């Protein structure tokens, strides 16, 4: 019925769509293995320009961010107190906060550009972003991204309790790049995440604001959009299901760190993409953030939704 509503009429049309779907399923099944192969090559052959940026240090984090974390871990911390430390945008539960220092952002972008200019194999973030870096392939998951996610937990626990904000136990992280002769913008979409962190790393650019619409599971008859400006070193926290996109940049070049944070306690009950109870199949690494508890109830984030 869904295909008929989108114009499929003949058997040949149905067969063509089915062939496309099967090809896409096969492509996605191969992604994890291809990524592991690239990571092995990069680990063996790539020489970082700034090796220090691969391991998270307090000196990379803005003093205001560390203060927010201290507040959230203090006795009696509550949502209202936290909101006094953040910038809020409309009623869409979108918040901006300082994350990194300017010095770290500059060194990190310089490292990413060095990698881009190398002859190493490169995977791209997704089908919508053609320029950028998958940070797990650079070996940044354990030393940098997992500690960053864990630092964010006291904040997300207060902001998004119903989305598993206190138990975000895996992530997918990547950097996206926008420039005049490459990707200019990003069309409307929502993320495969419970909570998303989007940090502006630089460089110099004009325009290119983010825009936010409805929550994907609660659309309004007449969507209301708001625009939010990127500020260097600052991050936006929002629900993964918040429909959003990026307007075109007018000049310069922009790099953003995107961290999709996932809570297996939430998505094991309902896949955020297909909105069904997931049927799990084995995968490598974090997979898509689903888990299947073993007999001893030790969660292993190594599964993906078969759908």
Interval 243-270: pLDDT, tens:
888 888 777 888 999 999 999 999 999 8
Determine the 3-state secondary structure of 192 from DSSP.
Answer: coil
- Given this model, what pLDDT does residue 184 score? 46
Residue 263's Cβ-count burial label (10 Å; 0-12, 13-18, 19+) is buried
Report d(CA 242, CA 196) in Å as an integer.
Answer: 9
Domains of the chain: 46-268 (2.60.120.620)
Report d(CA 246, CA 238) in Å as an integer.
Answer: 14
Report d(CA 172, CA 192) in Å as an integer.
Answer: 9
Residue 137: count other Cβ atoms within 10 Å of its Cβ.
25
Determine the 3-state secondary structure of 30 from DSSP.
Answer: helix
In order of 14, 23, 24, 37, 173, the CA distances from 18 in angstroms are 6, 9, 10, 29, 31
Across-strand partners of 256? 176, 200
Q: Which of 290, 295, 191 is nearest to 244 (CA)?
A: 191
Per-position DSSP letters for 41-58, written without gaps between them: HHHHH---S-GGGGS--G
Residue 225: count other Cβ atoms within 10 Å of its Cβ.
14
Q: Which residues of the chain have pLDDT under 50?
A: 184-185, 294-299, 301-302, 307
Packing angle of the helix pair 146-159, 63-72 (nearest 10 deg): 60
Strand order in the sheet with 226-228: 186-189, 242-246, 210-215, 226-228
Determine the 3-state secondary structure of 114 from DSSP.
Answer: helix
User: Residues with Cβ < 8 Å from 32, sequence gap 6 or more?
Assistant: 283, 284, 285, 287
- Given this model, what pLDDT does residue 182 score? 56
């Amino acid at each position: 019925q869904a295909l008929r509503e989108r114009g499929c009429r003949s058997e040949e049309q149905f067969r063509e769509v089915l062939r496309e779907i099967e090809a896409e399923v096969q492509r996605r099944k191969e992604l994890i293995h291809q990524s592991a192969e690239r990571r092995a090559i990069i680990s063996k052959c790539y020489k970082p320009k700034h090796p220090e940026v691969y391991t998270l240090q307090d000196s990379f984090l803005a003093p205001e961010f560390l203060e927010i974390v201290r507040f959230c871990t203090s006795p009696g911390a509550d949502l209202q107190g936290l909101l006094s430390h953040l910038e809020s945008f409309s009623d869409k539960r979108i918040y901006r906060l300082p994350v990194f220092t300017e010095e770290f952002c500059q060194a990190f972008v310089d490292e990413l550009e060095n990698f881009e200019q190398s002859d190493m194999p490169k995977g791209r973030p997704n089908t919508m972003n053609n320029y950028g870096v998958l940070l797990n392939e650079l070996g940044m998951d354990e030393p940098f991204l997992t500690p960053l996610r864990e630092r964010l937990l006291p904040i997300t626990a207060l902001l998004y309790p119903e989305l598993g904000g206190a138990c975000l136990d895996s992530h997918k992280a990547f950097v996206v790049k926008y420039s005049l002769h490459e990707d200019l913008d990003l069309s409307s979409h929502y993320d495969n995440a419970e909570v998303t962190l989007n940090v502006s790393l630089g460089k110099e650019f004009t325009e290119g604001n983010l825009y936010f619409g409805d929550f994907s599971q609660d659309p309004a008859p007449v969507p209301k959009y708001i625009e939010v400006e990127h500020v260097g070193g600052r991050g936006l926290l929002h629900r993964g299901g918040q429909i959003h996109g990026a307007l075109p940049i007018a000049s310069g070049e922009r790099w953003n760190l995107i961290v999709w944070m996932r809570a297996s306690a939430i998505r094991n009950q309902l896949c955020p993409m297909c909105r069904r109870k997931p049927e799990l199949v084995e995968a490598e690494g974090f997979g898509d953030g689903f888990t299947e508890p073993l007999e001893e109830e030790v969660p292993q984030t190594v599964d993906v939704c078969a759908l």
